[in-house]
Amino acid sequence: MTTTNITRRGMLAAGAVAALGGRRVWGAEPLAVTNPRATDGDQRHEPEWQERLSISVGQRDGDLVGDSDRVVQAACDYVARAGGGTVRLLPGNYIFRNAVHLPSGIRLVGSGAESVISKIASQTVPLAADSDWYDQEITLEQGGDFRVGDGIALQTTNPHNGGTDVIKCTLVARNGHRFKLSDGIRKNLWLTGKPTCSSLFPLLTSEYTSDVVIENLTLDGNAANNANFNGNYGGAIFLQDCNRYTIRGVEARNYNGDGISFQICHDVVVEDCHSHDNNDLGVHPGSGSQRPVIRNCRLERNNIGVFWCWGVKYGLGEGNTVDANRSYGMSIGHNDTDNVIRDNEITRSGKVGILFRDEARGEDFWANRNRIEANRIVDSGGEDGIGIDVQGATKDVVIAGNEVRETRGPKQRTGIRISAAAKRITLDENSITGFATPVEDGRV
């Protein structure tokens, strides 16, 4: 008599053999790639090359010489055409008349405070003739100082819904006050909407690209001489529909708009950056952006330090110094879920240290399932300031291990305020001191 011991693993293996017509399979996982080769079209596995193509740009020395957006753009395009590599911006002041559009697979690296990119003063001129959505040209009331090659923003009131339409493009040809555009406008620039042309653009920008590093640069937006440009369209850095960007060691300052803004961009890392004295947002992880990381940055004297826009999920804000922002240190709201905000120093915010916005636009658009952990939130707002303000029907939020402190006297100040409509807000081991009302819980 023969006895056979059949384990559960053996039964599963037998089932797999049966499912494959009697053929046995030894292992369910593919073999790991340990010695990659450069293979055409394979963007996942690449050897670690000791040397890649590198092009330098300088005002007196370098592979390319100049101080404009054109020379930097030429270097980026050259490197990208060769399959990727590094563009090195040597020390100097570079004045742009248009944004540099970053291609995929490059690294743009400067010399820190010695490599400064700025922009010309903006001007705004009304249009003198109607342009329809299929046109590729505009006519200005006066030529101003607009030149072929300039980056511009066309803005008008939408004739159908009353909103503002914004079109970004480049002037590519002219006859007097009549300019050809780099793209068809796909909007109606009718004189009834009072359309204008402005020399407004990001300093660095990109759309539908990936795997880019921006490192050790200083970006100055010349805010004193520029009109405001909405952060959904511009910023010192503005990205749209991009993936896997790293922005490291960048100083973004004095932009009349956002310092760093990225919209529907995934796996963006902003680390060791200094975004300050911008008129709107320090860092703007924009609508739909997944898994952003904002780490070890200094975000100072903006309107808002970090603005988590609509539908930003699985992000991390960690180890940042967020000081003296005029409205909020951090603001999180419309469908921004499953994010972690931890170990940040948020001080001297003009209104609130961390704001959970009231997003009454639908059934469940609040900033749910977020964690606020081990932050130090000090001296928020005026005499009625609030350290952490949880508004609307926000739910399933953990606020744990934070130090919320007021050093200027209690006045009418509140440490943590929770809306009556909020649900399942967990407070755990927070230190709240110096307030007239440590916790105001509207649910109680």
290-337 pLDDT per residue, tens: 999 999 999 999 999 999 999 999 999 999 999 999 999 999 999 999
1-5, 38-42, 231-235, 337-341: segment of lowest average pLDDT: 1-5
Handedness of CA 85, 90, 93, 95 (dihedral sign): negative
Looking at residue 41, its pLDDT comes to 80
Q: Which strand (E) or helix (H) includes residue 247?
A: strand 243-248
pLDDT greater at residue 21 or residue 86: 86
Q: Are 100 and 73 in contact (CB under 8 A)?
A: yes
Say how far apart CA 97 and CA 296 lie, in whole Å.
32
List Cβ neighbours of 230 (8 Å cut-off, separation of 6 or more).
166, 257
Looking at residue 27, its pLDDT comes to 61
Measured CA to CA in angstroms, residue 184 lies from 67, 132, 139, 175, 368 at distances of 30, 9, 14, 18, 41
What is the average per-residue pLDDT within 349-368?
A: 92
How many contiguous H segments (helices) and E segments (strands) does the chain have? 2, 41
Q: Which strand (E) or helix (H) includes residue 316?
A: strand 316-318
Q: Are 297 and 321 in contact (CB under 8 A)?
A: yes
Six-digit token pair at 247?
């922005």
Looking at residue 430, its pLDDT comes to 98
Q: Is residue 235 predicted with pLDDT exceeding 90?
A: yes
Residue in the structure block whose two tokens are 């961009």 = 265
Q: Is the pTM of this model over 0.85?
A: yes
Q: Is residue 24 predicted with pLDDT exceeding 70?
A: no
Residue 388 burial (10 A CB sphere; 0-12, 13-18, 19+): buried
Six-digit token pair at 250?
């960048």
The rounded radius of gyration (Å) of the Cα atoms in the chain is 26
Say how far apart CA 119 and CA 226 lie, in whole Å.
9
pLDDT digits (tens, 9 = 90+) for 378-412: 999 999 999 999 999 999 999 999 999 999 999 99
**Among the four given CATH numbers 2.70.70.10, 2.160.20.10, 2.40.30.10, 1.10.645.10, the one describing domain 54-120+200-441:** 2.160.20.10
Q: How many CB atoms lie within 10 A of CB 82?
A: 12
Which CATH number is associated with domain 124-198? 2.40.30
Q: Where are the domains of the chain?
A: 54-120+200-441, 124-198
Looking at residue 45, its pLDDT comes to 84
Six-digit token pair at 185?
């406008």
For residue 237, which of 284, 198, 191, 189 has the smallest C-alpha distance? 284
Per-residue confidence band for 157, with pLDDT thresholds at 50, 70 and 90: very high
Q: Are 236 and 129 in contact (CB under 8 A)?
A: no
54-120+200-441 and 124-198 in the same fold: no
